[in-house]
Every structure is written in C-alpha cells, then in structure tokens.
C-alpha cells in the first residue's frame, strides 16, 4: 500500500513539475517577446502638440520639457535626442550656437523620466520612439523647415528608424554605442536575471565616473549627479535597448540617405577593435564617418565651435 501511495505521489509531483515548467516556458517566451518589442499603445487622449516653446505634450498627456527655439526664417531644424537617461542640456551649447545662425534652428527635450520631467510609469523604450515620432509629426505640421535628427549614444538606435522617413532630411549621431563602458558586476547580472523572471519593471542602475565621459569637469560632475538621481532604468528597458542596438547595422545598410556618425576616439563605449569589426559589416555608401581624435563620449557639451561648424557642414 505504501509503495502505491509513493508511486501516486511521485506521478503527481512529476505532472505538477511538468506543468510548472511548461508555464515557466510560456512566461519566458512572453517576456522575451516583450523585451524585443518597441510597441507602445497608450490611450490617446489628444494629439501630440507643442505648448509654447518649453513644453511638448504627448498623446497620452505626458509633458516633455523642451530646450531651444525655432526661428521662422531657418531652413533646417535640428531635433536633438539626448543619450539614454541623460538630459536635454547635453545639447545646450549646440542649441545656443544655432541661435546665432539664420539657417539652422535646434531644439532638444528631456525624454520620459529624465531631466525636469516627471516619473515615467511606462518605462519602455517604445514610449521614447513614440514620442520622437509625435514630435516629428508636430514639427512637420507646424513648420516647413527640413528636419535633421541629431542623436546621442544609444538614442541613435531609435533615430535610425527614421532614416528612410520622408519627414526627416538626415540622421546624425554624436556617438555610437558599440560596447558597455563598464562590465556588468555580479550584483547587476543577478538583478537582471531575477527581474527577467519575476519583475520586468525592477529598477537597476549602472554607476559611472563622469570624467570618463566628459573632459568638462563641471559637466562630468553633473553627469554623475544625474545618474544617481535619474539614472535608474528597468530590466525591460535594458533588454529592449540591447535588442534595438543589435539592429543598427541592418538599419544603416537599408538607409536611403547617408547617415553621419561622429566617433570620438576616447569614448569608452567605442572600443577600437569592436568598432572596426562593426564598421566592416556596413555598406560604405550608407554612412559617413567623422573621427574626433582624443574626444570622449559627451564631446558635444564642450562647446567647441569647430565641432559645431562640422555638424552643419555634414547636412
């Protein structure tokens, strides 16, 4: 009798274990599908619109703070998209520079959860792409000028999705993300693993040394403070951006308009050997490389006029 009971219990445990394993596989498939997706379908409460010069309100009524202004007589509008979890002032020097040039206007905005903006309840990369798309729509509806997307770092992966968009004249990037600046520690890897299984909205952070990213000491300190205060991101965002970045080669090679890629040689996210392998896989007719010797990742905030001149020359 005891043997029969144990056999029944063993069979039940095997069945329960198999069911649990099957459900776990389904959950993981659903999660990995989400981690590769840029879908963002909030309830549309209005059309995305600029409110004055300082605010853009998205279709789900999230307010994005805007920096810069658009001159009616300008021929081009630079829509500057800061790096992941950075802030709109990354382009402040370039925006001020464009104010003195009749041909060019430039604006930037804080992405969701960044800079002066409120908390981002969605925390998905699809929302950042959706916002970019809405802003481009609003600019084309309101202005006749040609739009140039000037992205930074990881944001280039999203900007590239507009490389063949008739609304956008050109896509440029101040830097391209090839590799992580620092290796993941065991604690971060564990958080990523647990978050993937149990909670995609789990918040994580990568500690950074500001001077590794900018030679401007004041800006380097600001980068560190911002990272501590606003630099947390979700497990979902981590993997969604990782997936988006993998598509950069494909998007560049499919571009109908040559993209411009600035490559600062002292950028920790641009390992020379890895970058060389990356660029050998690109169609040389699809991009223009501009090498900036001995500059770091956020060279754009150094306010060097010769670099700003160079950006305008590449239109």
Distance CA 101, CA 173 (A): 21
Structure tokens at 121: 């309840």
SS3 of the chain: CHHHHHHHHHHHHHHHHHHHHHHHHHHHHHHHHHHCCCCCCCCCCCCCEEECCCEEECCCCCEEEEEEECCCCCCEEEEEECCCCCCHHHHHHHHHHHHCCCCEEEEEECCCCCCCCCCCCCCCHHHHHHHHHHHHHHHHHHCCCEEEEEECHHHHHHHHHHCCCCCEEEEEECCCCCCCCCCCCHHHHHHHHHHHHHCCCCEECCCCCHHHCCCCHHHHHHHHHHHHHHCCEEHHHHHHHHHHHHCHHHHHHCCCCCEEEEEECCCCCCCHHHHHHHHHCCCHHHEEEEEECCCCCCHHHHCCHHHHHHHHHCC
Q: Kindly report each contact of residues 42-49 with a partner whose C-beta sits within 8 Å and lies 24 or more positions away, as own/partner.
A: 42/122, 42/127, 47/138, 48/131, 48/134, 48/135, 48/137, 48/138, 49/138
Among candidates 79, 68, 84, 76, which has minimal Cα distance to 176? 84
CB neighbours of residue 256 within 10 Å: 9
Distance CA 200, CA 83 (A): 22
Among candidates 252, 242, 184, which has minimal Cα distance to 36? 242
Q: What is the pLDDT of residue 123?
A: 85
Q: What is the pLDDT of residue 71?
A: 95
CB neighbours of residue 177 within 10 Å: 24
Q: What is the pLDDT of residue 22?
A: 64
The answer to whether the beta carbons of residues 59 and 42 sit under 8 Å apart is yes
Tens-of-pLDDT digits for all 315 residues of the chain? 566 666 666 777 777 767 766 666 666 666 666 666 778 888 888 999 999 999 999 999 999 999 999 999 999 999 999 999 999 999 999 999 999 999 999 999 999 999 999 999 888 999 999 999 999 999 999 999 999 999 999 999 999 999 999 999 999 999 999 999 999 999 999 999 999 888 999 999 998 999 999 999 999 999 999 999 999 999 999 999 999 999 999 999 999 989 999 999 999 999 999 999 999 999 999 999 999 999 999 999 888 899 999 999 998
Q: What is the pLDDT of residue 30?
A: 65
Distance from the first to the final alpha carbon of the chain: 85
Among candidates 108, 238, 87, which has minimal Cα distance to 177? 238
- Provide the CA 30 distance to its chain's centre, in angstroms: 23
Q: What is the pLDDT of residue 21?
A: 66
Structure tokens at 304: 């060097």
**Domain 49-313 in CATH 3.40.50.1820:** yes
Every domain of the chain and the residues it spans: 49-313
């Amino acid at each position: 009798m005891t043997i029969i009971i144990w056999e029944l219990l063993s069979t039940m445990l095997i069945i329960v274990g198999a069911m649990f394993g099957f459900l776990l596989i389904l959950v993981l498939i659903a999660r990995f599908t989400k981690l590769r997706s840029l879908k963002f379908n909030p309830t549309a409460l209005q059309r995305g619109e600029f409110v004055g010069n300082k605010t853009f309100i998205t279709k789900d009524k999230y307010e994005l703070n805007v920096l810069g202004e658009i001159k009616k007589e300008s021929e081009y509008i630079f829509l500057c998209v800061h790096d992941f979890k950075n802030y709109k002032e990354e382009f402040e020097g370039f925006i001020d520079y464009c104010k003195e040039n009749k041909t060019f206007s430039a604006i930037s905005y804080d992405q969701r959860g960044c800079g002066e903006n409120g908390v981002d309840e969605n925390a998905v990369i699809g929302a950042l792409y959706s916002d970019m798309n809405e802003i481009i729509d609003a600019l084309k509806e309101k202005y006749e000028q040609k739009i140039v997307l000037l992205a930074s770092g990881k944001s280039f992966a999203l900007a590239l999705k507009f490389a063949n968009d008739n609304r956008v004249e050109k896509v440029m990037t101040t830097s391209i993300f090839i590799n992580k600046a620092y290796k993941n520690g065991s604690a971060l890897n564990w958080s990523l693993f647990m978050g993937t299984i149990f909670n995609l909205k789990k918040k994580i952070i990568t500690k950074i040394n500001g001077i590794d990213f900018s030679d401007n000491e004041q800006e380097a300190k600001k980068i560190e403070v911002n990272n501590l205060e606003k630099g947390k991101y979700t497990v979902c965002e981590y993997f969604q951006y990782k997936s988006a970045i993998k598509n950069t080669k494909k998007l560049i090679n499919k571009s109908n308009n040559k993209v411009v890629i600035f490559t600062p040689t002292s950028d920790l996210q641009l390992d020379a050997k890895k970058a060389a392998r990356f660029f050998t896989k690109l169609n040389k007719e699809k991009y223009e490389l501009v090498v900036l010797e001995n500059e770091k990742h956020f060279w754009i905030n150094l306010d060097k006029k010769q670099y700003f001149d160079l950006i305008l020359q590449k239109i």
